[in-house]
Amino acid sequence: MSSMKVAKGRILVGKYELGKTIGEGSFAKVKFARNVQNGNYVAIKILDRKHVLRLNMMEQLMKEISTMKLINHPNVVRILEVLASKTKIYIVLEFVDGGELFDKIAANGRLKEDEARNYFQQLINAVDYCHSRGVYHRDLKPENLLDSNGVLKVSDFGLSTYSQKEDELLHTACGTPNYVAPEVLNDRGYVGSTSDIWSCGVILFVLMAGYLPFDEPTHMALYKKIGRAEFSCPSWFSPQAKKLLKHILDPNPLTRIKIPELLEDEWFKKGYKPTSFTEEEDLNVDDVVVAFNESNENLVTERKEKPVSMNAFELICRSQSFNLDSLFEKQTGQVKQETSFTSQCPANEIMFKIEEAAKPLGFNVYKRNYKMKLQGDKSGRKGHLSVATEVFEVAPSVHMVELRKTGGDTLEFHKFYKIFSSGLQDIVWHDTEGKKNMKN
């Protein structure tokens, strides 16, 4: 059995040193990590084994991960390896040094048509490759598209479905409503590849317009608009782009444009460069089989100390959001969804102050050790706003507090934080050299 070494707060799983949490969802948490053997950075998706078993998803998940591990495409985030402990499954992913495409749109409003077309071409290349291997994403949206210096990377295949037969109908309605195809919403069965094309069309519209083609205050009104494909293109769309969108956002999946036809479209072909890469021949899924095996052999272990003592590596990977003002800075071209601050107060006092500041704002507070989840009691534009917080020990008398949005709308998070932060003034460490102070 592999052992985990802990030194001064370091958390290692196998050969990987875990860093900050960079994503969190219903089924998994994603952490930034470093391979201590070669120094390479990765992202590790961590799933709770009991949760997967309780949902009776173990076999399905193993099949999907095995399929995705064999996917090797420049525009798809790769699975490098899979590890497991007695309680968790660790999916080691390629780390993409760039933000979500959503951040770029949120910061700039919309993209120029040529730039949007370039991203769309890369998206279609990735989707076409995955479809050819029986993988259907089913939750394509800008939040699942990463931008690495102009290179698009499709991520988060957690909702994808592996199907032996392309004509097999899927019956699980999933994904984000605004991007989901009509046949998915009416729950009459659908073909994964056709529904993915619809989502690609919505993404193309958002890239060029800066807003959604289908967006209503209630689900009922939204579903009606999607079912009838009621949308209008803004005046700055070229006639060729409008024509293509009409073919993609066709409410009838049988007549909706297919990828081979799309690849021949005049608007799509402008400046198009097919993806060129070499398939790796030594890819295998042996580690996936081992990870999902119920035996205790080849398992890794993980132990945590609360609060976690932060070493130089973890401090550096959080440095971009090391003060409260960073939430509102936009020099990087990204809309921040997380921030952090330092405090010289005891950890228990910090926890109390956070709870005291959140409850009057209509947030339910759930505590576990030195972590807290703040859950809004009112539903906003994208559901209930939720915020995760964690207290880390930087030195015996210094703590760092990280806050990040884990659910809801980013702009609503910013509005909440402006009020919430005013209640934390007396626990934030303001140094004597004039570092930035917390602003309302």
Place of tokens 């969190």: 24
Q: State yes or no: cis peptide before 307, omega within 30 of 0.
A: yes
User: Quick check: 6 and 12 in contact, CB under 8 A?
Assistant: yes
The CB density around residue 356, as the number of other CB atoms within 10 Å, is: 12
Beta bridge partners of 84: 89
The CB density around residue 429, as the number of other CB atoms within 10 Å, is: 13
Q: Name the token pair of 158.
A: 């957690």
Q: What are phi and psi of 311, to 5 degrees?
A: -95, -175
Which has the closest alpha carbon to 264: 282, 280, 229, 240?
Answer: 240
Cβ contacts of residue 264 below 8 Å, gap of 6+?
none
Is residue 269 part of an annotated ligand binding site?
no
Please classify residue 225 by burial: count the beta carbons closer than 10 Å to its beta carbon, then call 0-12 exposed, 13-18 middle and 19+ buried. Answer: middle
Question: What residues act catalytically?
Answer: 139
User: Quick check: 224 and 136 in contact, CB under 8 A?
Assistant: no
Q: Name the token pair of 143.
A: 């939040």
Place of tokens 């910013």: 414
Please classify residue 223 by burial: count the beta carbons closer than 10 Å to its beta carbon, then call 0-12 exposed, 13-18 middle and 19+ buried. Answer: middle
Interior/surface letters 208-217, b for 16+ CB within 10 angstroms, e for the rest:
bbeeebbebe
Q: Name the token pair of 104.
A: 């770029």
Q: What are phi and psi of 193, to 5 degrees?
A: -65, -40
> CA 237, CA 407: separation in Å to the nearest integer?
32
Residues making up the binding site: 45
Residues making up the binding site for ATP: 45
